[in-house]
Amino acid sequence: MGVFLDIIKNSKTINKSEAFKATPKDLPILMFSGDKDPVGEMGKGVKRVAKQFEKSGIHDFTFNLYEGGRHEMLKETNAEAVKQEVIAWLNARM
């Protein structure tokens, strides 16, 4: 129960525009989620976060919302596609 309480308490703080503005603009960010993840509000919440990152001026921001995916994207039916995206994303930046 403690983890869920922490998430609820801190989600308002970490989703404030100041937090996005404080993120280093040259920090590469790969963000992905499933569109059936209840934690991400079935894609709605993660889309809001992605828009905040885009508006904050991050130079290298990549976002993908996987159809049918839920919370643990590396264990979903499309896990192989997710792994390939992560590997390709990392290889492009090394």
Q: Number of folded domains in the chain? A: 1
Q: Which two tokens stand for residue 9?
A: 């308490």
| pLDDT tens-place string over residues 78-92 | 899 999 999 999 999
Query: In this model, does residue 1 exceed pLDDT 60?
Result: no
Strand-pair category, 29-34 with 61-66: parallel
Q: What is this structure's pTM? A: 0.78
| pLDDT tens-place string over residues 8-61 | 666 655 666 777 888 899 999 999 999 998 888 888 989 998 999 898 889 999
Confidence of residue 66 (pLDDT cuts 50, 70, 90): very high
Tell me, what's the pLDDT at 62? 96
Segments forming the whole domain that contains residue 72: 2-93
